[in-house]
Chain A
Amino acid sequence: MGLGTSAAVVIGSFPLGESDRVVTFFSREFGRVRGVAKAARRIRSRFGGALELFTLGQLVFFDTGRSELVRIDHFDVTHPFAPLRENLETLGEAAWMVEIVARTTGERDRQPALYGLLVRALRAMEVAARPPRVAVCFGVRCLDVLGHRPRLDRCAECGRAYPFARPALGEGGVVCEACRPSVDAVPVAPATVAAFERLRGLRWEEAVASPIGRAGPELRAVLDTHLSRLIGQPTRSGRFLRDVRRLSEVSE
């Protein structure tokens, strides 16, 4: 109860009543915080464009303790991340990252490592030539931070040492062909497992710049499947990305 202040990223919002908005932040000090921004939808709102998705800023809120929703007093923009909203691909990939954060963390569950990872990934995506690569690097590290690091050195079911032929990736990690029927695992190319292993071992800057060749799209799909399992349903931004890709194929 009382006044709270923290650096935070806007990870979602929806309209409330006539002109208010419920905004979800992922903050460094308090984790996921939801609050009401009064009159935020008015053209002359004091919040202006500060509450747009992905915006990084300094959040000041008041928690009455009587509701799950806090009262948003100020949100001073530190970095607007505007370029992320000006391209359909980067918008989709960045939306995928914030959706993962929004749906895998609990309210007021402080996760400074995940907060740092999200801000770093948004900064990288803003200047990235290949936004999906940044999303892949985020996904790989996000699993580690959330405590779901998949095992890649041996079969997660029987313990058989990797490498082996025809690997699959399941919730616990790489799975051999014999164990695959007993778990829900996706068959993948050995190059994808190698890329997964390499990306999580490299420093962030190296990982984002590292060539992973044809393994990229498969690794992206595996991460989406894996994180969707954690969430309990398919990601919504994944659907948006598929629509954008379909449009790119038609317009090219």
Chain B
Amino acid sequence: MTYYPEPVARLIEALQRLPGIGPKTAQRLTFFLLKRPADEVRELADSLVAVKERIVSCSTCFNVTDQDPCRICADPARDTALLCVVEEPNDLLAMERTGEYKGRYHVLLGALSPLEGIGPDDIKVRELLQRLDAGGPTEVILATNPNVEGEATALYLARLLRPLGVRITRIARGLPVGGDLEYADQVTLSKALEGRREIV
């Protein structure tokens, strides 16, 4: 790093801290930015600062937002009887992209992990209980990832929420649309068979 002027070295070092960016990519990005007009670079810098300064976590659902409560929680057109539980804000965005879901969300900001030692106290489980205790939702949709951590979280929440008398559902698992049956692995295929339904 001694070959570079100090500001260049600092930027390379800062970029390297981003996920998936190694020394070579950080160097390439730095030299790319050096070649761009000053306005464009300033806009990027302002966006980075604004994200940190203006984005907060919604105090109701824990989604990322620039207003508290977030637009979804504040929207009166949303169905308050439906509550979809997701692991991360990115999962919420994926659900929103479907355009099919009109209820509200609860973002756990993580998932239970037996091997990483992540327990219910490390994610927003207590806050979910508080929301349900306060009333409103009659159905909780567990939309955690279909992997070990997501399944463990769904199993845990299902058992925890059962005494509250709300309907608890889990998103379906199985084959992706457009996929070929012959390439499906046995776990996915058996889950698809398990979740089969009658065509009407």
Contacts and interface: CB of A to CB of B under 8 A. Distances in A.
Interface of A: 12, 17-18, 43-44, 46-50, 52-53, 55, 77, 80, 82, 85-88, 91-92, 95-96, 98-99, 102, 236-237, 239-241, 243-244, 247, 250-251
A247 B156 contact: yes
B147 A52 contact: yes
A48 B185 contact: yes
19 contacts: A17-B19, A43-B176, A46-B183, A48-B187, A49-B188, A50-B187, A52-B187, A53-B115, A77-B187, A80-B190, A85-B151, A88-B159, A96-B114, A236-B115, A240-B114, A243-B112, A243-B119, A247-B160, A251-B163
Nearest to B121: A243
Interface residues of B, number: 32
A85 B148 CA distance: 7
B148 to A, nearest CB: 4
Q: Which 10 A-B pairs have the closest CB atoms?
A: A236-B117, A48-B185, A49-B187, A95-B114, A240-B114, A17-B20, A53-B148, A243-B119, A237-B114, A80-B187
Interface in B148-190: 148, 151-152, 155-156, 159-160, 162-163, 176, 179, 183-188, 190
A17 B188 CA distance: 24
A250 B162 CA distance: 12
Contact of A86 (B151, B159, B160): B151
Main secondary structure of the interface of A (DSSP, over half): helix
A77 B120 CA distance: 31
Contacts of A251: 159-160, 162-163
A236 B115 CA distance: 6
Nearest to B148: A53
A173 B17 CA distance: 47
A236 B188 CA distance: 28
Given A55-B187, A247-B160, 13 more contacts: A17-B19, A18-B20, A48-B188, A50-B185, A52-B148, A53-B148, A77-B187, A91-B148, A98-B115, A99-B114, A236-B117, A240-B119, A247-B120
